[in-house]
């Protein structure tokens, strides 16, 4: 069992150290209304009480997600701004000769987090902040995030915590129960959930990550996901100069 007081302090110190090393002033992060961004937002606010900016960037999003994001911002007194990306996203689709539909094909769905990344980095450069991500160890391990989207960040303070541990941490931080208890989702369409998309539940995934446990079929599936997404966790390969 983790000592969550100690874990909170360790992450806060790490955030301050990394921001100071970059000669930046604070952090900007997306507030989606999900548990990961809620935990990241709470920790960022502790680390930088006056220099944490939350951005809510709905894109054909569910109203409940917006409400939950505002709930977190209010509870932890996080300064925030809201920018609807509907128009810019629809413009991308029109440019590509596509139209919005549910469920979104993956190539079209991945445009959304990449637009969000662009907005986050605009504010990061404008304010001399670093972009703080919310990807956890479970998602990082199997590549369940968008390359150069929600994976395009400067800091990943939750990358060492499994989803199960993020849930535990959220309770310690007193994240509202409504956010802790709702099914994890990217909020791309109604009834879209992380576990449905991955085809595996977090309990099974985390048991493998933490202890190597699981039945043969689940382990084979997880290992296949890890191998297939290895490129996401590496810098782009470079052809070295021929001597």
54-80: pLDDT as tens digits: 999 999 998 999 999 999 999 999 999
Whole-number pLDDT of residue 191: 73
Mean pLDDT estimate for the chain:
95
Of 37, 82, 79, residue with least CA distance to 59 = 82
Annotated binding-site members: 30-37, 114, 139, 147, 154, 163, 185, 231-232
pLDDT given for residue 17 in this prediction: 98
Residue with the two structure tokens 């001399």: 128
Within a domain: residue 207? Answer: no
Q: Which CATH number do you get for residue 152?
A: 3.40.50.620
CA geometry: angle 221, 156, 180, nearest 5 deg:
70
pTM confidence score: 0.95
Place of tokens 């990358």: 159
* Binding positions for deamido-NAD(+): 114, 147, 154, 231-232
In a domain, 134, yes or no: yes
List residues forming the annotated binding site for ATP.
30-37, 163, 185
In a domain, 60, yes or no: yes
Q: Is the dihedral of CA 172, 175, 181, 184 positive or negative?
A: negative
Question: What are the pLDDT digits (tens) for 198-221?
Answer: 999 999 999 999 999 999 999 999
Annotated binding site for Mg(2+): 36, 139
In a domain, 201, yes or no: no
Question: Does some domain include residue 224?
Answer: no
Q: Residue 121, exposed/middle/buried by CB under 10 A (0-12, 13-18, 19+)?
A: middle
pLDDT at 188: 67
Tell me if 235 is assigned to some domain.
Answer: no
Q: Is residue 72 one of the residues assigned to a domain?
A: yes
Percent of the chain with pLDDT over 90: 88
Number of domains in the chain: 1
Tokens of 19: 């921001």
Which uninterrupted H or E stretch holds 129?
strand 129-131
| Residue at token pair 């304010």 | 127
- Please give the average per-residue pLDDT across 19-40, as a whole number: 98
| Domain assignment of residue 40, given as a range | 4-195
Q: How many whole angstroms separate alpha carbon 8 and alpha carbon 216?
A: 36
Residue 101 falls within a domain, yes or no? Answer: yes
DSSP 8-state assignment for residue 132? B
**What are the pLDDT digits (tens) for 109-137?**
999 999 999 999 999 999 999 999 999 99
Reply yes or no on whether the pLDDT at 189 is more than 70. no
């Amino acid at each position: 069992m983790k000592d969550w007081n100690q874990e909170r302090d360790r992450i806060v110190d790490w955030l301050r150290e990394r921001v100071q090393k970059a000669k930046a002033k604070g952090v900007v992060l997306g507030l989606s209304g999900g548990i990961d961004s809620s935990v990241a937002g709470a920790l960022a606010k502790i680390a930088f009480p006056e220099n944490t900016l939350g951005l809510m960037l709905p894109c054909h999003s569910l109203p409940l997600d917006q409400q939950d994001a505002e709930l977190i911002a209010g509870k932890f007194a996080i300064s925030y701004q809201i920018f609807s990306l509907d128009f810019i996203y629809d413009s991308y689709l029109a440019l590509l000769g596509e139209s919005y539909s549910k469920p979104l094909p993956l190539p079209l769905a991945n445009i959304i987090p990449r637009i969000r990344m662009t907005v986050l980095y605009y504010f990061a450069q404008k304010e001399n902040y670093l972009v703080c991500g919310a990807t956890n160890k479970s998602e990082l391990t199997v590549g369940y995030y968008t390359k150069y989207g929600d994976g395009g960040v400067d800091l990943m303070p939750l990358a060492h915590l499994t989803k199960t541990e993020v849930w535990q941490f959220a309770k310690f931080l007193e994240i509202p129960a409504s956010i802790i208890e709702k099914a994890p989702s990217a909020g791309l369409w109604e009834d879209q959930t992380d576990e449905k998309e991955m085809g595996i539940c977090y309990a099974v995934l985390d048991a493998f990550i933490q202890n190597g446990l699981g039945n043969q079929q689940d382990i084979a599936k997880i290992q296949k996901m890890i191998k297939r997404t290895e490129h996401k966790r590496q810098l782009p390969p470079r052809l070295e100069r021929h001597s």
